[in-house]
């Protein structure tokens, strides 16, 4: 059987197909080690709405080639080719991967932690002496706008095996930051749902899944924050344990005030509701 060299982009396609087929819902925090770090970065730039954070564990980078001499680079490429000859394992196609990586969209502003090795190891370029600590540092300085870099790892390349606690704590930190970023902060205002229509939306709380309070005719978002006498209100209580949102129905006045949501045309009420559903799904 003929086996070809694989790009990180093919790894992205495989991973996305796998998660989709398995019906594992996003957004994801991707944790990528070595070549998997390239796959994680490219996944985030290819599917930005599906990734909320990255943990890169001594990742490969587009700067590897320039950190080596031509002889060392040739030795490294020769070593990776041997992987094809052994049990059908993947062998990276660096040239195509790096070309596509340079043309890929910039990763959005998400929490990122980069862990890099501080012990020499032989990665196939001619012995441990070819290891360059400065090479992974270029990833941190040039690739992300928001990141944390941990270089004092007391570890070689396999940090997840040698120092698993560092990886676990990094994952925890990114997950917490992603939750705050994605779900944190109250929101109340008009949302453009397309075709010149706007609807009023109010959201609060953090967590998943999001609870969406859907009122009846002439209902406003404020209806879920009203109760008899001293009883707790639905909106206030739900936002204590998860994300919750409510909206004004089209054209609904709020007390003595005019509607905050645009009026719905008589022949387009269903269409407006559908457009709102799509906008809300994208936001939450």
What is the per-residue pLDDT for 267?
40
Mean pLDDT of the chain: 75
Residue of 148, 38, 178 whose CA lies nearest to 96: 38
Sheet holding 148-150, edge to edge: 28-33, 51-57, 112-115, 148-150
How far is the CA of 149 from the CAs of 37, 38, 143, 244, 275, in angstroms?
14, 16, 12, 34, 42
What is the per-residue pLDDT for 5?
62
What is the per-residue pLDDT for 279?
39
Q: Examine domains 8-183 and 187-283 and report if their fold is the same.
A: yes
Instruction: Over range 10-28, report the average pLDDT.
Output: 90
pLDDT in tens, 204-232: 888 777 889 987 777 788 888 887 777 88
pTM: 0.60
pLDDT in tens, 89-118: 566 777 777 777 777 788 878 889 999 888
pLDDT in tens, 246-273: 988 777 766 667 678 766 544 444 433 4
Which residues have C-beta within 8 Å of that of residue 30, sequence separation ≥ 6? 40, 43, 44, 51, 53, 54, 55
What is the per-residue pLDDT for 78?
72
pLDDT in tens, 193-204: 777 778 889 898
Least confident window among 16-20, 68-72, 83-87, 228-232: 83-87
Domain 187-283 has CATH 3.90.1150.10: no
Q: Which homologous superfamily is 8-183 in?
A: Alpha/Beta hydrolase fold, catalytic domain (3.40.50.1820)
Per-residue confidence band for 44, with pLDDT thresholds at 50, 70 and 90:
very high
The domain spans of the chain are 8-183, 187-283
83 or 14, which is more confident? 14
Whether 43 has a pLDDT exceeding 90, the answer reads yes
């Amino acid at each position: 059987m003929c086996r070809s060299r694989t790009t990180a982009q093919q790894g992205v396609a495989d991973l996305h197909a796998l998660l989709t087929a398995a019906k594992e819902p996003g957004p994801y925090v991707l944790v990528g080690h070595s070549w998997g770090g390239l796959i994680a970065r490219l996944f985030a730039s290819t599917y930005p709405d599906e990734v909320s954070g990255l943990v890169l564990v001594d990742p490969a980078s587009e700067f590897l080639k320039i950190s080596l001499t031509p002889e060392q680079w040739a030795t490294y490429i020769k070593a990776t080719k041997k992987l094809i000859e052994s049990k059908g394992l993947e062998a990276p196609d660096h040239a195509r991967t790096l070309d596509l990586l340079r043309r890929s969209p910039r990763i959005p502003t998400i929490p990122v932690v980069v862990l890099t090795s501080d012990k020499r190891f032989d990665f196939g370029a001619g012995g441990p002496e070819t290891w360059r600590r400065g090479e992974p540092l270029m990833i941190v300085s040039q690739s992300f706008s928001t990141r944390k870099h941990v270089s004092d790892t007391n570890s070689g390349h396999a940090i997840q095996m040698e120092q698993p606690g560092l990886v676990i704590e990094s994952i925890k930190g990114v997950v917490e930051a992603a939750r705050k970023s994605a779900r944190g902060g109250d929101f109340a205002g008009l949302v453009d749902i397309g075709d010149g229509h706007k609807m009023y939306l109010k959201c609060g709380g953090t967590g998943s899944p999001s609870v969406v309070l859907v009122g009846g005719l002439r209902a406003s978002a404020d209806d879920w924050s009203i109760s008899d006498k001293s009883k707790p209100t639905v909106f206030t209580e739900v936002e204590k344990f998860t994300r919750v949102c409510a909206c004004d129905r089209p054209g609904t006045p709020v007390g003595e005030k005019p509607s905050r949501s645009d009026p719905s045309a008589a022949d387009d009420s269903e269409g407006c509701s559908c457009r709102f559903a799509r906008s809300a799904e994208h936001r939450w």
